[in-house]
Structure 1
Amino acid sequence: MTMIDDLVVQTKSGTLRGARENGLTVFRGVPYAAAPVGELRFAPPQPVAPWRDVRDATRDGPVPPQGRSRLAHVMGDFERPQSEDCLTLNIWTRATDGKKRPVMVWIHGGAFSSGAGSLPWYSGERFALNGDVVVVSINYRLGALGFLCLPGVSPGNLGLLDQVAALKFVRDNIAAFGGNPDNVTVVGQSAGGASISILMTMPLAAGLFRRAILQSAPFGRPARTLEDSHRIGRRFLEVLGLKPEQADALKSLPFAKLVAAQGEVGRLEKKFADTQAPFWPVIDGDVYPGEVGPALAAGAGRDIDVMVGTTREEMAAFYGIDPDIPKADAAAIEGVFAAMFKTGHRAVYDETRRMRASSGNAALLGDLMTDVNFRMGSLRFAEARADQGRPAYVFQFDWQSPEGFEACHCIEIPFVFNNFEHWTDAPMVKGADPKVASGLAEAMHRAWIAFARTGKPDHPGLPVWPAYRREDRMTMRFDTMIGPVSDLAGLNWRTPWTR
């Protein structure tokens, strides 16, 4: 096979021509479903129409329609062409041969309302070069276009169905790109981690992946009910100046108007210390059968190898810029604790104050809601796995941002991908000691590769990483010092969560 031939791959829908990039063969803007435009807006993903000529796959496709990310102040900002014709994925591989390399599929975060798998932040180049794995990053529909649930207009959960369609593309085609369809690891952060937890319980996704890495999965942000999703859908209509009987107009309005309206709905729905976006997966009893936590505890996805973890101060990314947080009085802060625990909240409130050298409003609420939204659900998931006799490898990212963002939501991503050259505009890692950052990134990056290969994250550059067990709760702590620590959450601090 010549070098030129290496760039041409036959998929089930047609032939693609990729490009050579830094020793890898890369395919960009690969369609995995038909463009959801026109009559297909608010419809489940449909198969791609086959094409006859060789299709150029050397450029990224447009990103899904979206507003500015809520986390641009920590991650940095981006501008990319937007289009509803966005159901594409990118692939990085050492060679388009029959080697059957492990496959890693990245599902990006962004509260189901922003982001794209094609952003340089999520380049699969280093994973493919350093681990000889095939990397796939996917786009899926966001915001109202992906998660509006309104009778007669949209069934909801379309973004989840897009993810399933992308995973089916991987199953059916990845062998042609040098990958093994029987060794697929899904990796996701934030909404991507939430997506993976849902996919593990979805009948439609059964058998599509073998391993899962969940980073900062918001287990504590419950799925919306049909009733609540319909209420938000009606509010969306009101913001657009439409009456219920005019709902069908949503299928033809310019997407820019929908994006602007969903931003306004987000502002109208905002509550104190609550960061959940309005358009969110909904339990419909069909695509999304039921609450994730109980389903996983009952054994859903038990044959899938699992790695799960959080950052130490997830909520610092949100509360640090919320103007309502610093001006709130003590009663408002304590009221959030009371709402969480109903009875016995005062002991948790006092303990949280004692744990912090500086316990301002943002720190107090941040520690509480980091546990509520992220950490405790992740640990419950790990404990359920241990009870099932299935290992879960748990981590916590503790490295502190020099710019005052602490170990905030999203801060571990550059370390996992080990590609700081794509994060030069990210305030959260500005000022990092290059030697420390490089060493920490190497340890994490190689652990993610090892897990994708074997189901265990151990590698020669990392201390032994024990599986999580109820009796010792060993958690790999990633900081300037790296190593497993017993029960980072604290046994006393855990007590209220058992009720």
Structure 2
Amino acid sequence: MVSIERHPPAGRVRGTTSYLAEVATFLGIPYALPPTGNRRWKAAEPMPKWGAVRFADRMGPAAMQAPLPQGTILSHPDWPTSEDCLYLNIWTKAEPGDMRPVMVWIHGGGFISGSTAYPEYDGTALAAKDVVLVSLAYRLGAFGFFSHPELARESAEGVSGNYGLSDLLQGLRWIQENIAAFGGDPDCVTIFGESAGAWAVSQLQASPLSDGLFHRAIGQSGSSMTRMRSAFAMVDDALPVEQVHASWAANARVPRLRDLRDLSASELLQRWDADMMLAEAVVDGWILPAQVRDIFEAGNHQKVPVLAGFNSDEPELLGSFGLYPIPEEAADYIALVRARMGDHSDEFLTLFPADDVRQSAMQAYRDGLQGGLSSMESWARLNFSAGAESHVYIFSHKPSDDHMGLGAYHMAEIPYVFGHVARKSSFVYPVLATGPVTDADIELSERMSDCWVRFASEGTLRAVNGFGWPAYCPIRRPFMEIGKAFEVNDNPFPGRYELFEKVRASFIAQRKFRNQVYNPRDGGFKL
């Protein structure tokens, strides 16, 4: 593993200079900063060159973020955070002159938390399968997704927001220039991510700035096929994000950009988190010139093979925190559905009946989430319509030690993909794992990681050696169910995708789609 970092002097909110160029200098590799480099925060002073051997024997700090609740399912060992957080990690067993497929991991965390340093993202096992594994860090929260009119005015592109996406684009540019030095093939790059990391994958696939930077895309439990907000324009009665953030800054008594820059990083984070501000990528007219879904529907996205899927019990983990409230009585459930679904209520109650309120509500949450059935199948379907191959899965495997009854919860597939299912030392497992890992768990992990590697290598999972994972098409609609075994099911959720498509169109027509956008701190019955 090679962890490459930069270490500027500590300071206030500021811009990213070419830390990737510094890495290239350190490695003795020619590198020129692309003309679309990030110039939107105040420029920092030039970084000194490294003059000696640098030991990359530890992970760098995570991006600035508030700690996750300790003593809960989501808690993990504290990791240092810093503004100096932009780095990439490389795992490779390649020999000089090799040209191995490259897999680039983008971590999740709702764009407000996460780190490449989590043990479950260790790339050793995947690199052992003849790929070069890279993980990219990117700015989060206010540091990664803050929009403000003053920032737009000082930007060469006239935009603000999406700084976290800009970091990821810069990392992908660095990979194109330099990954061959680590035995990687710059013409065979796969980006993959989970949750917010998968949102980013779909956003990068939609961005015109990513042309030629990657060649396959994998999304695990997340996509941006729902309605997005705009930095500068109204979307379905939702205020421009620049206006929302400027109003927050005024209420926080730091109305001007120079006032914000006078805050230390920790002070800015504390004020942002105290007001429970969320971070989100926005339509900015540059990195994302339009809604991600609109870009896909117009066929203007990067037409690369896609592997997309979700977990059968997505809401269970976050629902344990009360983020998905469920009515106790069937009558209350029916009343809520009728108030929310309007003309689609009868169809909704047929597919999600009131005879088992909890099961129906949780399945509806799953199928309507940004990372559930409707958004993930939309991703595959639109990619298919543009002539690019897609494969779709549902991960339904329940860990052998599922003592909390969470099933195949959000994030449960990660240790299987990375080949670390036997290691119970990450944020996925501290509270969940108490029993032994079975041979079936290990065998499933081997097979699943093999599929991810094969897709990254070949861009397809069609039948070979007797194993058939058919490509998605909207007539047959084959899903690979990854459970106790791998099993193809055609159209396993009849009527549900169609329902949510109609609901989506209705919400847009009524200009109330903003209420359907996933917001984990919003409460309410989000369908």
- Give the direction of change, closer, same or farther, for the CA distance of 1:96–1:61 in structure 2 (3 Å limit): farther
Q: Contact between 2:283 and 2:289, CA under 8 Å: does it hold in 1?
A: yes
- Give the direction of change, closer, same or farther, for the CA distance of 1:279–1:180 in structure 2 (3 Å limit): same
| d(CA) in 1 for partners of 2:76, 2:198 | 21
Which residue matches 1:65? 64
Deviations along 1:78-111, whole A, 9 cap, x unmatched?
3111111000011000035111111000000100
1:463 pairs with 453, 463, 467, which one?
A: 467
Deviations along 1:145-168, whole A, 9 cap, x unmatched?
111112224721000000001111
Q: Contact between 1:107 and 1:137, CA under 8 Å: does it hold in 2?
A: yes
Which residue matches 2:285? 285
Which residue matches 1:321? 321
Which residue matches 1:28? 3
SS of equivalent to 2:3? strand
Structure 1 stretches of 5 or more lacking a match?
Answer: 1-25, 270-277
| d(CA) in 2 for partners of 1:117, 1:152 | 31
| d(CA) in 1 for partners of 2:323, 2:215 | 43
Asked whether 1:237 is paired with 2:240, we answer: no
Which residue matches 1:434? 438
- Give the direction of change, closer, same or farther, for the CA distance of 1:282–1:43 in structure 2 (3 Å limit): farther
Asked whether 1:43 is paired with 2:15, we answer: yes
Which residue matches 2:138? 140
| d(CA) in 1 for partners of 2:106, 2:304 | 17
Asked whether 1:369 is paired with 2:365, we answer: yes
Which residue matches 1:497? 500
Q: CA deviation at 1:329?
A: 6.5
Asked whether 1:197 is paired with 2:202, we answer: yes
Q: Contact between 1:443 and 1:461, CA under 8 Å: does it hold in 2?
A: no
- Give the direction of change, closer, same or farther, for the CA distance of 1:118–1:325 in structure 2 (3 Å limit): same
Q: Map 1:9-408 to 2 at 5 A.
A: 26-31=1-6, 38=11, 41=13, 43=15, 46-47=18-19, 48-49=21-22, 50=25, 51-53=49-51, 54-69=53-68, 73-95=72-94, 97-129=96-128, 131-153=129-151, 155-219=160-224, 221-226=226-231, 227-234=239-246, 236-237=248-249, 241-244=252-255, 246-266=256-276, 278-322=278-322, 325-326=325-326, 333-334=333-334, 337-338=337-338, 341-353=341-353, 358-360=356-358, 363-373=359-369, 374=371, 375-401=373-399, 402=402, 403-408=404-409
Which residue matches 1:472? 476
Residue 29 of structure 1 aligns to which amino acid in structure 2? I
Deviations along 1:107-130, whole A, 9 cap, x unmatched?
00100011011221101100011x
Structure 2 stretches of 5 or more lacking a match?
Answer: 26-48, 153-159, 232-238, 503-527
Q: CA deviation at 1:75?
A: 4.8
Which residue matches 1:452? 456
Residue 148 of structure 2 aligns to which amino acid in structure 1? L
Q: CA deviation at 1:254?
A: 2.2
| d(CA) in 2 for partners of 1:72, 1:109 | 20
TM-score (norm 2): 0.79
- Give the direction of change, closer, same or farther, for the CA distance of 1:496–1:323 in structure 2 (3 Å limit): closer
| d(CA) in 2 for partners of 1:336, 1:221 | 22
Q: Contact between 1:44 and 1:158, CA under 8 Å: does it hold in 2?
A: no
| d(CA) in 2 for partners of 1:330, 1:231 | 41
Identical aligned residues as a percent: 29
- Give the direction of change, closer, same or farther, for the CA distance of 1:463–1:141 in structure 2 (3 Å limit): same
Residue 366 of structure 2 aligns to which amino acid in structure 1? T
- Give the direction of change, closer, same or farther, for the CA distance of 1:302–1:81 in structure 2 (3 Å limit): closer
| d(CA) in 1 for partners of 2:412, 2:336 | 26
Which structure shows the higher strand fraction?
Answer: 1
| d(CA) in 2 for partners of 1:85, 1:395 | 37
Q: CA deviation at 1:319?
A: 1.7
Q: Contact between 1:74 and 1:427, CA under 8 Å: does it hold in 2?
A: yes
Q: Contact between 2:454 and 2:461, CA under 8 Å: does it hold in 1?
A: yes
Q: What do you get for the CA RMSD once the two structures are aligned?
A: 2.8
Q: Contact between 2:206 and 2:302, CA under 8 Å: does it hold in 1?
A: no
Which residue matches 2:419? 418
Q: CA deviation at 1:238?
A: 5.4
Deviations along 1:158-212, whole A, 9 cap, x unmatched?
0000000111111111000111111101111111111111111112111100111
Q: Contact between 1:144 and 1:279, CA under 8 Å: does it hold in 2?
A: yes
- Give the direction of change, closer, same or farther, for the CA distance of 1:64–1:392 in structure 2 (3 Å limit): same
| d(CA) in 2 for partners of 1:121, 1:385 | 29
| d(CA) in 2 for partners of 1:152, 1:141 | 20
Aligned length: 453
TM-score (norm 1): 0.83
- Give the direction of change, closer, same or farther, for the CA distance of 1:90–1:471 in structure 2 (3 Å limit): same
- Give the direction of change, closer, same or farther, for the CA distance of 1:120–1:438 in structure 2 (3 Å limit): same
- Give the direction of change, closer, same or farther, for the CA distance of 1:322–1:42 in structure 2 (3 Å limit): farther
